[in-house]
């Protein structure tokens, strides 16, 4: 049995089409079909149920695909580990980045990695911290930048704390609170908010701070994009609680420290079980690209 045959079977199972699988694998359909039929004869089971219009894995096919994915991952890891033993980093590096990264210059860190290891391929993924932790634990992601409430400890991954910071109130320059130098959290309870979607790690620090203070708030707008959040604040529709580094120097906005306001911790995370050579190399380079933000407490990365 060849690795290429496994790749063909996985492609057909995922595409549900011999034609699309052949295109994906850059091979003519007849050759792909021949290889799969030869494999079925070799192992003595049908991997796919076929008709003129449909293709789907049999029960045996589903079992084969699951094991084949593990085998291909192991083969790729064997190649990358062998290369790493000679000082070469090869294979994929997948990095997850939350929308509110403030502690690391991610583009610069990736550029450093590419210059040091040009044979590696880089994939950047957006999403939430919780999704990234699950992906790293499952072996589907190498490293990620996480942003979590200060009362939440990431589990199942190895981490380095990058920065601890207090979120600030962000209002438009025309807002009634724009002239204040400091606010209490209770003074924001009657405001209308924009925030990250309910249940996401980006929103958790603020939800936890309001709950701890026994306060309720009205979140009228939800968005995962910080540019959209800030645009809504500029229009005077809402207020937000964000890292001051996300806001920057914008004359249309005002940032106000909040006594008793939410706090967040930014982490660099990677596999606690068996990090890839690419993950280890990226983590080592990323510590050189930590950014110190005013009003926050940076943490040295050993």
Residues 158 and 284 grouped into a single domain: yes
Listed residues 34, 52, 85: the one ending a domain:
85
Strands 143-149 and 263-271: antiparallel
- Residue 66, pLDDT > 50, answer yes
- Residue 299, pLDDT > 70, answer no
Nearest to 240 by CA among 194, 273, 294: 194
Whole-number mean pLDDT of the chain?
Answer: 88
Residues 160 and 173 grouped into a single domain: no
Model pTM above 0.75? no
- Residue 301, pLDDT > 60, answer no
The whole domain housing 17 covers: 3-85
Dump pLDDT digits (tens) for 28-50.
999 999 999 999 999 999 999 98
Overall number of domains in the chain: 3
Dump pLDDT digits (tens) for 222-271.
998 899 999 999 999 999 999 998 898 899 999 999 999 999 999 999 99
- Residue 138, pLDDT > 90, answer no
CA distance 183 to 276: 46
Neighbour count for residue 189 (Cβ, 10 Å): 14
Dump pLDDT digits (tens) for 86-125.
556 777 899 999 988 889 999 999 999 999 888 888 999 9
Residues 151 and 23 grouped into a single domain: no
Residues 255 and 278 grouped into a single domain: no
Residues 270 and 152 grouped into a single domain: yes
pLDDT reported for residue 251: 94
Is residue 141 very low, low, confident or very high in pLDDT (cuts 50, 70, 90)? very high
Residues 176 and 231 grouped into a single domain: yes
Structure tokens at 203: 């929103």
Residues 81 and 107 grouped into a single domain: no
Dump pLDDT digits (tens) for 176-188.
999 999 999 999 9
pLDDT reported for residue 182: 97
Listed residues 18, 51, 85: the one ending a domain:
85
pLDDT reported for residue 53: 82
Residues 72 and 123 grouped into a single domain: no
């Amino acid at each position: 049995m060849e690795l290429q045959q496994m790749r063909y079977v996985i492609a057909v199972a995922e595409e549900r089409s011999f034609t699309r699988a052949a295109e994906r694998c850059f091979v003519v359909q007849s050759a792909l079909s021949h290889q799969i039929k030869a494999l079925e004869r070799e192992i003595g089971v049908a991997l796919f149920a076929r008709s003129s219009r449909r293709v789907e894995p049999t029960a045996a096919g589903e079992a084969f695909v699951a094991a084949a994915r593990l085998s291909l991952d192991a083969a790729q890891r064997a190649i990358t580990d062998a290369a790493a033993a000679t000082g070469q980093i090869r294979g994929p590096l997948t990095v997850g980045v939350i929308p509110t990264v403030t502690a690391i210059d991610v583009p610069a860190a990736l550029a450093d990695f590419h210059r040091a290891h040009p044979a590696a391929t880089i994939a950047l993924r957006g999403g939430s911290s919780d999704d990234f932790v699950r992906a790293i634990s499952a072996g589907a992601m190498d490293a990620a930048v996480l942003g979590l409430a200060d009362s939440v400890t990431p589990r199942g991954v190895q981490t380095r704390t990058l920065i601890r910071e207090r979120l600030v109130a962000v209002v438009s320059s025309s807002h009634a609170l724009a002239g204040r130098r400091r606010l209490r959290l209770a003074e924001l309870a009657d405001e209308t908010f924009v925030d990250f979607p309910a249940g996401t790690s980006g929103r958790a620090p603020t939800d936890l701070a309001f709950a701890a203070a026994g306060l309720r708030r009205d979140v009228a707008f939800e968005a995962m994009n910080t540019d959209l959040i800030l645009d809504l604040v500029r229009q005077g529709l809402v207020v937000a609680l964000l890292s001051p580094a996300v806001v920057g120097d914008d004359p249309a906005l005002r940032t106000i420290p909040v006594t008793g306001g939410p706090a967040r911790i930014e982490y660099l995370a990677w596999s606690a079980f068996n990090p890839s050579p690419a993950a280890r190399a990226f983590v080592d380079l990323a510590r050189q690209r930590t950014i110190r933000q005013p009003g926050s407490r940076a943490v040295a990365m050993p």
